Amino acid sequence: MDVKDYRKRYEADLAAHAASTAASLRPSGVAAAAAVVDATQQRLMEIKRVPSDRADLSKKIQALLATLGNEKESTVVRLAALKALGAATFLGENFAPYHADYLNTLRQIARPGTDPQLCEAALGVLAAEKDPDTQKLLQRGLEDAKFALVPPAKALQLLSYDDHANISELALSLFNQTDDLGVKEAALRVLATDAKSQDLFAKLLEDKSQPVSLRTLSATGLNFLNPQRFADVARAIVMDDSESEDIRASSLGALASAPDNRALQDDSGFHDRVKELGADNSLKDLSVAARRMIAKP
């Protein structure tokens, strides 16, 4: 992840949302005078209303399930029903009688032809439930794009909700086949739970020609799977002046947070270099990371 780019995109999303909220609240003359309330808005407000009585709650859940499963309803209303049902799942025993219907309704939605946004939302809930049929659907879409219900990066993310889904081989295969950086990133996140990925992570981390996001994910993955091996590679990166400053700062930051960095503290060559980096005014994040490393007790 490029943090600066991510921040820009997120701040733009926030600004767009704030603008749209302000626009929807602005009285638009005629509408304000006539006090016309949009039917959809009224519908959404009704969906959000939580009944206080248990019997009403039961009726409400059934009505929400009907709305969610009704293909004639608009996507925005069905999504609101899905959101309300998601909240209702926290009601424990009050929701338990409807749980099976809830999943069945979602399975009916998670199929070709459904609005993509609604389909993805349904798949997200089912994947979080570790629904085997959904996992098969997602895997099938990754193996053959014509069956894909969601983009490959999203499918990998949804499959990764289940640690026992055994998708490492598929993720590795996708990583090797695709040129899409987003898919490669998603594949590496999946592979971070597979001990067999150590060699791949070490190779990517050492390869200066790889995109920074893949090297950063590799650093995280290797640090998780084999902290000692990560420390060896990260030490070499920190000492290498030809490396990118971002990668050196990330590596140094991870080394500073390592639970046992005594071996590095006894490494006088490394320690002297970190002190030099900490005193180098021309560096930014790397210098800060170096000073944090030095400040560690």
Partner 1 sequence: MLHANVDRLWAKWQWVKHRENSTNPAAYAPPSPPRIGHNLGDTVWPWNGITGKPRPPTAPGGPFPATVVTPLPGQTPKVQDMFDHLGVVGANSLGYAYDDVPFELQPMVVAAGP
Residues of this chain that interact with partner 1 (CB under 8 A) are 1, 3, 6-7, 10-11, 14, 90, 189, 253, 256-257, 259-260, 278-279, 281, 284-285, 287-288, 291-292, 295-296
CA distance 119 to 247: 38
For the four alpha carbons of 199, 200, 206 and 207, in that order, the dihedral sign comes to positive
Beta carbon of residue 59, minimum distance to partner 1 (angstroms, whole number): 25
Check: CB of residue 249 under 8 Å from CB of residue 257.
no
- Dihedral in degrees, nearest 10, Cα atoms 241, 247, 252, 253: 150
> For partner 1, which is the closer residue by CB, 176 or 257?
257
Beta carbon of residue 259, minimum distance to partner 1 (angstroms, whole number): 4
> For partner 1, which is the closer residue by CB, 73 or 129?
129
Q: Which amino acid is at 18?
A: A
> For partner 1, which is the closer residue by CB, 22 or 90?
90
CA distance 68 to 91: 18
Beta carbon of residue 297, minimum distance to partner 1 (angstroms, whole number): 8
> For partner 1, which is the closer residue by CB, 106 or 137?
106
Q: Is 213 exposed, middle or buried (0-12, 13-18, 19+ CB in 10 A)?
A: middle
| Secondary structure class of 78 (helix, strand, coil) | helix
Beta carbon of residue 84, minimum distance to partner 1 (angstroms, whole number): 15
